Structure 1
């Protein structure tokens, strides 16, 4: 028999005066996650900024290699990451002792996934070889990819433990762990890439090693908080260290669409990047610069999405779809405010943003890439508000358990973009900026689809923790 919802759990870790589902509660949960995602963005941004000082080939190699390494982990990141919604729903239903049980199953999945990820390494090398990447970029790209892939277990374990804290709404712990990672990453990369403090200059390999060291430090922070006395006592963490077939089944049932979605989307996105990179060195450089800034606009929105998933899941678990909808509206206000600022930045200062990535020495490839990147960055302003809509509405659906539908639409979107880009660049031989504009207009249409699914209201009637 299900326990009755606990009303006090609805505002856990939020100010007592905050209106449930209101902007203050959303800010309390989402702002630390926005800060956390901003730190993650800063790490990747600074990596590529440092590497751009070595030349455009290393900068482009870090983007393509890093994306491919992440792509190899994405199914399991999406699957394990659904722990956030499941923990939130158990908390909302007043079953706090089940929250760490979810994390135990997520940790077991992380351990099982690691050898499978490593076994797929040769496939990525084959993809690199077949993509037509210039030799000057190919070797450092493979080296960067290999090092990151060997550290995949750190990413999976971090995802599992972060799911607990985001699910219960104590997202400051995640923010602190990511802040530590950012400081370690920037310092380690400065030392290892350029060879300071007596260390050899390792170039792009140093960037990858610095990323792994940062991930390890972040994992230590999360593990320390999870096993700390307060959490251990409140949630009976020790008693949860056991296999639970029912909870593992829920995690697999509701998490696999998120995993498939993330995996297939990253394959499509990586192939799109490789298509651009195979066009010419200048196009590769321009696209790398644009997507670095696009990452600045998009990744912090994922922090808002985690807040939406957490609060929607919690309030639906407590049987309050009205408050869950209020939380969705609060998340949308945050997302649109942030994206509006990014839109102004992209429209008003594209040349200055591109100039951040100018190599120290004169570079003919950069000289050709900079005007192209400026045009593409200004065009990117068209879809930043659509990003906000799609991130929030897809977060609502995931928090409610409507993960299969969200997967279908998101995957369809990305795999329609891929042939459109192929036709534009390889068949019709359109300029890269024209192909980019076509992608943007296709992307805009899909944000409306997510809104229509949200507006239909099916998600309000779903229950995850109440089924067997």
Structure 2
């Protein structure tokens, strides 16, 4: 099948962009609801449970860095192959990605579970929180293989513009997680009251069910059949591109999430009394959850940019790929800034929903004020990095975004938070400054650099960035 340009996309580009984006916005909304219910139920149990949940949720994201990296590789390879009309290659990449998800998830679990004591020490868990934090850590680590399958199979669907399937899966996960939180966390519906343990078990059950549903849907669509598992000689030529895209993306996820863990540690170790530090940490957790309301559409447009850029590069139209990145950015900027202004009008009752503690609410509102000021910068960084990821240019996103975290955010957070302000506000300001720097750098890269050279479907005969000849795998 030859490369084709979507006729409807050409005639009504903004309509099609929105058609791809809105299911992903809803998907992120359900993802937010999962975290919102977790944080709410944790707050009803105890503020220490809420703080422990926030730390362990961030730790889980750190262990998912390889899955996130591989999902970026899957989107780049499958969307470009789909745009080029290579149907068999799409199926083979789908099978390869599923096998990689299962193998990598089990490997991460086997490597990380014996290290849980060391991780507790690294996070500087305060006295009184050790038992709760350790239990969350152990159960969340057991959920890693299911998270890997879920993340990568969702990416396979998105890369082919099948954006409704991840939405259905996230709806199922949200319902199961919410029922589990309320039932086993609070003892509702006649179920045994397991407290914080119920929250952890609800999460792993819901995620496992979602991963299983995705595998069933892939099988039903013909993307997970015997034909999907290619001969080894094909894998030898296909897998390097996944690695080439995934490696910088994985390094970025690692440094990004390590940076957030260090940010939690910097907040936990502020030069204030124990109660104030706990409120700041819980405020950071609550603020992160509310901020996710704004990240939902931003991530949706990030993923939409990846899909369209990959599709047009596969079709041999780098000019359209670049222009659609700008179009997605324009729509995303208008939508998310409007949502931010509306959310700020109700910021007090929203923070009050997540925590009844006045100290936690005050810290959460202060966190949100500085981070909502950063929203325009955050959008530029998120959406354009999505476009670069669709092209396979994850090396650029790693250099820019990783540098903004480790060279700007963390040093500035320590200086402002621990030395100048001696409080959490200094950390929030450091986050704003680092986002502004990242946005400017990503925008310059997108405008001035030849990032189309990283694509699987070469626009012109040539070489890959490391100078070695590149031959895409055949059907």
- Would you say 1:319 and 2:310 are equivalent positions? no
Q: Tell whether the 8 Å contact from 1:184 to 1:214 is kept in structure 2 after alignment.
A: yes
Mapping of 1:408-447 within 5 angstroms? 408-416=399-407, 417-428=409-420, 430-447=422-439
Following TM superposition, by how much is the alpha carbon of 1:94 offset from its aligned partner in structure 2, in angstroms? 1.3
Query: What residue is the counterpart of 1:132 in the other structure?
Result: 124
In structure 2, list runs of 5 or more residues that go unmatched: 271-276, 459-469
Distance (Å, rounded) in 1 between the aligned partners of 2:288 and 2:211: 27
Mapping of 1:57-456 within 5 angstroms? 57-118=48-109, 119-228=111-220, 231-232=221-222, 237-242=225-230, 243=232, 244-279=235-270, 280-359=277-356, 366-416=357-407, 417-428=409-420, 430-456=422-448
Distance (Å, rounded) in 2 between the aligned partners of 1:20 and 1:165: 24
Following TM superposition, by how much is the alpha carbon of 1:87 offset from its aligned partner in structure 2, in angstroms? 0.2
DSSP-derived class of the 2:210 partner: helix
Q: Tell whether the 8 Å contact from 1:43 to 1:186 is kept in structure 2 after alignment.
A: yes
Distance (Å, rounded) in 1 between the aligned partners of 2:280 and 2:372: 19
Following TM superposition, by how much is the alpha carbon of 1:293 offset from its aligned partner in structure 2, in angstroms? 1.0
Distance (Å, rounded) in 2 between the aligned partners of 1:426 and 1:375: 17
Q: Aligned-residue CA RMSD in angstroms?
A: 2.0
Higher mean alpha-carbon deviation, 424-433 vs 156-165, is at: 424-433
Distance (Å, rounded) in 1 between the aligned partners of 2:258 and 2:387: 24
Distance (Å, rounded) in 1 between the aligned partners of 2:348 and 2:189: 35
Query: What residue is the counterpart of 1:51 in the other structure?
Result: 42
Distance (Å, rounded) in 1 between the aligned partners of 2:26 and 2:98: 25
Q: Tell whether the 8 Å contact from 1:257 to 1:407 is kept in structure 2 after alignment.
A: yes
Higher mean alpha-carbon deviation, 26-35 vs 387-396, is at: 26-35
Query: What residue is the counterpart of 2:465 in the other structure?
Result: none
Q: Tell whether the 8 Å contact from 2:106 to 2:144 is kept in structure 1 after alignment.
A: no
Distance (Å, rounded) in 1 between the aligned partners of 2:79 and 2:384: 18
Question: Would you say how many aligned residue pairs link Structure 1 and Structure 2?
Answer: 449
Query: What residue is the counterpart of 1:362 in the other structure?
Result: none
Q: Write out per-residue CA displacement over residues 334-389 of structure 1, whole angstroms, 9 at most, x where no aligned residue.
A: 32123212321354332222111234xxxxxx232322322222222211121111
Following TM superposition, by how much is the alpha carbon of 1:424 offset from its aligned partner in structure 2, in angstroms? 2.6
Following TM superposition, by how much is the alpha carbon of 1:429 offset from its aligned partner in structure 2, in angstroms? 5.5
